[in-house]
Structure 1
Amino acid sequence: MIYPIVAYGNNILKKEATEIQEGEDIKSLIGDMFDTMGNANGVGLAAPQINKGIRLFVIDSNLMLEEEDQEKGVRKAFINPIILDEYGDHYVFEEGCLSIPDVRAEITRPGKLTIEYFDENWNLREEEFSGMTARVIQHEYDHLEGILFIDYLKGLKRRMVKGKLLDISKGKVPTDYRMVYP
């Protein structure tokens, strides 16, 4: 099932997501989230973006990598994740979001992280990620905390996107995927 993407302005995007009961069968939801993400040409999708306020996101960082990149991409689901540490050199990269189409901004984040999460079989994992995969995880994890990438913008940069954000919240934005507006 392909879900519509929740647009900027919907309250669920600003709320902290709740934990999923351990052992709950969410494999079909995870599959639907991968399908929804692929349909929208995304590299990550958090449950709040499909109007589900639970601590779950999926990523496929393979889509962010170039052939010459040293790192390997990751395609997986993260259930009830907790970022344990973020470290390494901070770097700037232009981010976007399926819930905020046509808005991109340079965001600074640490280059590495350690995260604890359950996989789709409810096995507890602790892993370190770096580069583009770490960035995608950080972006999607922020969704579970009620944080959007535009929340990192200050001053003039924030004011420059204000009009676009208002248009998105009113449904005045073209997309190649279905959206739900506030």
Structure 2
Amino acid sequence: MILPITIYGHPVLRKVAKEIDKDYPELQKFMDDMWQTMYFADGVGLAAPQVGRSIRMFVLDCSSFAEDEPELEDFKKMFINAKITERTGDEWAMSEGCLSIPGINEDVTRSESIKIEYYDENWEFHQEEYSGFAARVIQHEYDHLDGILFTDHCAPLKKRLLKGKLTGISKGLFKAKYRFTLAK
């Protein structure tokens, strides 16, 4: 089922998400719904808070960027209870957007490489290292689990310039091809 995307201004996007266990209610269905929702909305990643659930889970499919980074050819992963344990390398800026903040893209500076621990959809534990675009997307989605949005990384002047647009988005003044949920 395609779930509605939670839009900027909704309090669930600012909560620190909770860890889950493999007995989480209807977990397999929720994982399937996350994939379906992300693909329907043309996203590269989607975190559970973006569909209204404050749990530590996100999905990624970076395979569409394999032309620039061949190691992303089959990069499709589910991250449950993820924890970034290290951020290294030079920080670099790249334009980012977010399904929860439609119509806004801004340069965000992030670490070049990360180390992360997580469980996959089969509850197998992984400790892995990523760099480049994969590291960037993981950091973006991971931020959602801590109540952080990409606009929080913008410089103070840029944040002030975005304030009006963000307020409009929180009131539903945007266009999106997907279903969404606003704060009440």
> What is the aligned-residue identity percentage?
48
Unaligned runs of 5+ in 2: none
Normalized against structure 2, the TM-score is what?
0.94
Cα distance, 1:70 vs. partner? 3.8
Residue matched to 2:17: 17
Tell me the SS of whatever aligns to 1:78: strand
Q: Distance in 2 between matches of 1:91 and 1:58?
A: 23
The 1-side partners of 2:68 and 2:118 are apart by 29
Where structure 1 has 5 or more consecutive residues not aligned to the other structure, the ranges are none
* Most deviating of 136-145 and 67-76: 67-76
Q: What one-letter code is carried by the residue in structure 1 that aligns with 2:151?
A: I
Match for 1:14: what amino acid?
R
Conserved? CA contact 1:77–1:119, under 8 Å: yes
What displacement does 1:71 show?
A: 3.0
Count of aligned pairs between the two proteins: 181
- TM-score, with structure 1 as normaliser: 0.95
Give the letter for the 1:13 counterpart: L
Between the aligned partners of 2:138 and 2:94, the Cα distance in structure 1 is: 14
Q: Residues 170 and 23 from structure 1, CA distance in 2 versus in 1: closer, same or farther, beyond 3 angstroms? A: same
Structure 1 position 178 matched with structure 2 position 182: no
What is the CA–CA distance in structure 1 between the aligned matches of 2:70 and 2:21, rounded to whole Å? 37
CA apart distance, 1:28 = 1.9
Alpha-carbon distance in 2 for matches of 1:71, 1:159: 38
Structure 2 Cα separation of the partners of residues 68 and 15 of structure 1: 34
- 8 Å Cα contact 1:88-1:112 kept in structure 2: yes
Q: Which moved more, 1:45-54 or 1:149-158?
A: 149-158
CA contact (8 A) 2:84 2:114 kept: yes
User: What residue number does 1:44 align with?
Assistant: 45
CA RMSD in angstroms comes to: 1.2
Measured after TM superposition, the shift of residue 68 of structure 1 is: 4.3
CA distances 1:36-72 after superposition (whole Å, capped 9, x unpaired): 0000000000000000010000001112x15243432
Query: Is residue 23–residue 122 contact of structure 1 (8 Å, CA) maintained in 2?
Result: no
